[in-house]
């Protein structure tokens, strides 16, 4: 039986232990990630089967709805083993108080439910087990050219960058303005960076040219996976191949030490080409939209 738990009913230590026992365990489902990105999150828990699903929620216009938090790619459900109908069972178990949802689910199982619409989303992952030399040999011609350019400009990738410096660089970029990253999302990002910095799972890297930052990224380690949580290059960084150099450094650093480099994106075709140039392969998950609003207000999105 799947139970609905309000935030105060969730034992976060037990939650994290159960997550680690899941076949599809992910940093996105940890209490650290959820507490920082979506304070007050609720959950669905199947205590007999060991499956669980976080429920980040908000309330607007008197409507309680589920949302996908900034920097959290998907919400599971997480379970000890994959089973047909898992996602559908959890969607069916959502209490009626949640009138609307726009969330991402792990995997490609499509729940067949009235009032639910899904669409595929694309991520990219790079297998690290072959080692740095073999991975480098698989880079595209354009990526090799960009790395040579970065070397010619004397770009350096600096380690041990504290979260505040990385966040400040990202927030000052014209990309954040163009992407319409709002104040709530910026604060959530800072909380996530600080939380992972504090528990030792997060780390920053910054590419510099003559001491001036031209690209930066924040990464998280969970199990055998490195996640590229957020990063970008300035205009000068794009001209000099700075992000190529930064990701190349991380790949070189962690190759053969971890199994997977999760680039946490690639739904945009241009970004997909960029990630594919390192040898990353696409994997898919689902965006799920549920609308239980009365017909007269169904077109209103919270």
pLDDT digits (tens, 9 = 90+) for 34-89: 999 999 999 999 989 999 999 999 999 889 999 999 999 999 999 999 888 899 99
Which residues contact residue 25 at a Cβ distance below 8 angstroms, ignoring those fewer than 6 apart? 19, 78, 222, 223
pLDDT < 50 regions, the chain: none
The pLDDT, as a whole number, for residue 302 is 54
The pLDDT, as a whole number, for residue 299 is 62
Six-digit token string for 118: 């899904």
Q: Looking up tokens 């528990």, which residue turns up?
A: 199
Domain 2-121+285-297's class?
A: alpha beta
Q: Where in the chain is the domain with CATH 3.40.630.30?
A: 129-258
The pLDDT, as a whole number, for residue 292 is 87
The CATH architecture annotation of domain 129-258 reads 3-Layer(aba) Sandwich (3.40)
- d(Cα 25, Cα 80) in Å, to the nearest integer? 9
Q: Looking up tokens 């740095």, which residue turns up?
A: 132
- d(Cα 10, Cα 19) in Å, to the nearest integer? 13
The pLDDT, as a whole number, for residue 109 is 83
């Amino acid at each position: 039986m799947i139970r609905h738990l309000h935030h105060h009913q969730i034992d976060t230590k037990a939650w994290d232990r159960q997550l680690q026992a899941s076949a599809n365990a992910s940093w996105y489902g940890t209490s650290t990630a959820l507490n920082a990105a979506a304070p007050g999150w609720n959950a669905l828990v199947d205590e007999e089967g060991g499956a669980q699903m976080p429920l980040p929620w908000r309330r607007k216009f008197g409507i309680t709805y589920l949302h996908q938090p900034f920097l959290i790619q998907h919400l599971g459900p997480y379970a000890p083993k994959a089973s047909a109908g898992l996602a559908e069972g959890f969607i069916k178990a959502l209490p009626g108080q949640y009138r609307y949802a726009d969330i991402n689910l792990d995997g490609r199982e499509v729940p067949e439910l009235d009032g639910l619409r899904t669409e595929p989303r694309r991520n990219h992952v790079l297998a690290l087990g072959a080692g740095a030399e073999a991975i480098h040999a698989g880079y595209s011609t354009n990526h090799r050219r960009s790395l040579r350019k970065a070397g010619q400009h004397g770009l350096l990738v600096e380690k041990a960058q504290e979260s505040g410096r990385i966040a400040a660089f990202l927030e000052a970029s014209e990309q954040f303005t163009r992407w319409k990253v709002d104040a709530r999302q910026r604060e959530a990002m800072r909380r996530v960076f600080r939380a992972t910095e504090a528990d030792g799972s997060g780390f920053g890297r910054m590419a510099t040219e003559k001491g001036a930052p031209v690209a930066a990224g924040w990464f998280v380690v969970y199990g055998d996976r490195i996640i590229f949580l957020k990063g970008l290059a300035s205009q000068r960084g794009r001209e000099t191949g700075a992000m190529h150099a930064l990701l190349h450094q991380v790949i070189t650093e962690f190759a053969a030490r971890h199994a997977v480099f999760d680039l946490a994106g690639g739904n945009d075709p241009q970004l997909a080409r960029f990630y594919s140039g390192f040898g990353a392969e696409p994997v898919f998950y689902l965006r799920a939209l549920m609308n239980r609003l009365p017909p007269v207000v169904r077109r209103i999105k919270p």
